[in-house]
Amino acid sequence: MSATAEQYFPLVVPATSLLLGLALLAGWRSLRDHRYLLWLAGGYICTAFPLAAQILMDNARMATWSVLTGAMYCAGSWATAQGFALRSGGRVSGPAALAISLITLLALFCFSRLDDVLGARIVFLNLGMGLLLALALPVLFDSEQPDTLFERLLRRTYLLLVAYAILRPLLAWLLAGWFTSSGLPRSGLWLWMLAFNLLLNLWLLFLLLGGLAQQLMGELRHERNHDSLTQLLNRRAFFEIANHRLQHDPARPWALLACDVDHFKQVNDTWGHAAGDNVLRQVGVLLQQMTRPDDLVARFGGEEFVLLVHCHDLPTAARIAERIRVGLSQMHCSPAKQSITASFGVTMVATAQDLESALERADLAVYQAKHEGRNRLILSPSQDGTDCMLPDQQATP
């Protein structure tokens, strides 16, 4: 390889960093809610330019431009730390980052303009970059992100990146006497460290994008399975999950509760659809509060809600429905502060094959409750054909 090729070949590393930054920037333009992508793009781009400049400079020119390149390195490290902190739901300390950056730049000025000491510049610059990156560690390891394999690997890789930045000058001094080298940017150890830095950043970006893809898939799955207004399960997701539970745990007894808000059309006609939407949201919140985490609560459309609850028999299911009915009647979420009432149909579900039939029975029971005056619950006929009905609206809790 010629001297010119040897000089310019390391530019692959900053060029790759620049391309990665531009890719993250393009990702942010499509996913504006993920602001951390913009910060991470800035981190990659800000470090690409000073790295390319140092590759093309000799040690004398590096000393001349050390403060400017150091400022760009600090900005890149600060942006990277801020990006990972934002991704984890927090922020890095601005005053701490500013103080570290100013101390680093002051040291670079002293050991380039007042006294040209290459080793000191290397130590202070890498220590400053490492400390800036370390500002995100408390947020990263106290993240609210799901504890997935991608997240665990991402945290450990970021910790390795911080440790590598801090220990890099020590390793260079021990292995090759970097501090006295006259051709630092073209030394063999420099090239090996550039290669390792590139691989580490590629691996970090792979984990980052893998976690992002996993998060986006989770968001899409949530949108597919949940009603956008109430955030309850929609009809399709309800049937998928209910069928799965009934098929894989057939011995567990379940009850189906159908609930229909009374006179809901009057709310829309009188107060507008915004008020009606608020009523539906409040009803959804109450249904989730009054059921257990393993019960299913779904909005089937309009003012119709369906619940699949674990209980041993129909009287128990009736008590659950009655408790919910009373809770709804005590809500005052319409503009006129009027109480909200609902009619209930309750039946037991024997098997997955019985689910459709159970829903029909519950719907018929709701229709009967509406016909008999609303604000009541009615139990559907049991599986053996005997009637099990509460003619007056209350079942004893």
Write the single-letter amino acid at 94: G
Say if residue 343's pLDDT is above 60. yes
Interacting residues of 19 by C-beta distance below 8 A, sequence separation 6+: none
Say if residue 4's pLDDT is above 60. no
Looking at residue 173, its pLDDT comes to 65
Query: What does the pLDDT look like over 196-231, one tens digit per residue?
Result: 888 888 898 888 888 888 888 888 899 999 999 999
How confident is the model over 88-113, as a mean pLDDT?
93
Say if residue 391's pLDDT is above 50. no
**pLDDT grade for 269, boundaries at 50, 70 and 90:** confident
Looking at residue 396, its pLDDT comes to 34
Residue among 143, 153, 160, 196 nearest 36 (CA): 143
Say if residue 388's pLDDT is above 50. no
Looking at residue 42, its pLDDT comes to 95
Looking at residue 172, its pLDDT comes to 62
Could you tell me if 63 and 107 are in contact, meaning their C-beta atoms sit under 8 angstroms apart? no
**pLDDT grade for 39, boundaries at 50, 70 and 90:** very high
3-state secondary structure the chain: CCHHHHHHHHHHHHHHHHHHHHHHHHHHHHCCCCCHHHHHHHHHHHHHHHHHHHHHCCHHHHHHCHHHHHHHHHHHHHHHHHHHHHHCCCCCCHHHHHHHHHHHHHHHHHHHHHCCCHHHHHHHHHHHHHHHHHCCHHHHCCCCCCCCHHHHHHHHHHHHHHHHHHHHHHHHHHHHCHHHCCCHHHCHHHHHHHHHHHHHHHHHHHHHHHHHHHHHHHHHHHHHHECCCCCCECHHHHHHHHHHHHHHCCCCCEEEEEEEECCHHHHHHHHCHHHHHHHHHHHHHHHHHCCCCCCEEEEEECCEEEEEEECCCHHHHHHHHHHHHHHHHCCCCCCCCCCCCEEEEEEEECCHHHHHHHHHHHHHHHHHHHHCCCCCEEECCCCCCCCCCCCCCCCCC
How confident is the model over 91-104, as a mean pLDDT?
95
Query: What does the pLDDT look like over 138-195, one tens digit per residue?
Result: 998 887 777 788 888 989 999 998 998 888 777 766 654 554 444 455 566 667 777 7
Could you tell me if 390 and 379 are in contact, meaning their C-beta atoms sit under 8 angstroms apart? yes
Spatial distance between the Cα atoms of 246 and 74, rounded to a whole number of angstroms: 58
The tokens describing 337, both together, are 């502060």
Which residue has tokens 């000491």?
A: 117
Say if residue 389's pLDDT is above 80. no
Spatial distance between the Cα atoms of 125 and 107, rounded to a whole number of angstroms: 8
Spatial distance between the Cα atoms of 33 and 29, rounded to a whole number of angstroms: 9
Say if residue 337's pLDDT is above 80. no
Looking at residue 312, its pLDDT comes to 86
CB contact burial 17-34 (16+ within 10 A = b; e otherwise): bbebbeebbebbeeeeeb
Looking at residue 215, its pLDDT comes to 82
Residue percentage of the chain with pLDDT more than 90: 49
Distance of CA 315 to the CA centre of its chain: 41
| CATH classification for the domain delimited by 235-379, as one of 3.30.70.270, 3.40.50.10540, 3.65.10.10, 3.40.50.2020 | 3.30.70.270
Looking at residue 73, its pLDDT comes to 94
Looking at residue 383, its pLDDT comes to 52
Say if residue 94's pLDDT is above 90. yes
Q: Which of 5-14, 35-44, 108-117 comes out lowest in average pLDDT?
A: 5-14
Residue with the bigger pLDDT between 218 and 22: it is: 22
CB atoms within 10 A of CB 332: 11
Spatial distance between the Cα atoms of 363 and 356, rounded to a whole number of angstroms: 11
Spatial distance between the Cα atoms of 229 and 227, rounded to a whole number of angstroms: 6
CB atoms within 10 A of CB 200: 15
Angle of helix 188-225 relative to helix 149-176, nearest 10 degrees? 170
Spatial distance between the Cα atoms of 358 and 238, rounded to a whole number of angstroms: 14
Average pLDDT, the chain: 85
How confident is the model over 95-109, as a mean pLDDT?
95
Looking at residue 123, its pLDDT comes to 85
Write the single-letter amino acid at 63: A
Looking at residue 397, its pLDDT comes to 33
Could you tell me if 192 and 186 are in contact, meaning their C-beta atoms sit under 8 angstroms apart? no
Query: What does the pLDDT look like over 294-331, one tens digit per residue?
Result: 899 999 988 999 999 998 889 999 999 999 999 988 88
Say if residue 287's pLDDT is above 70. yes
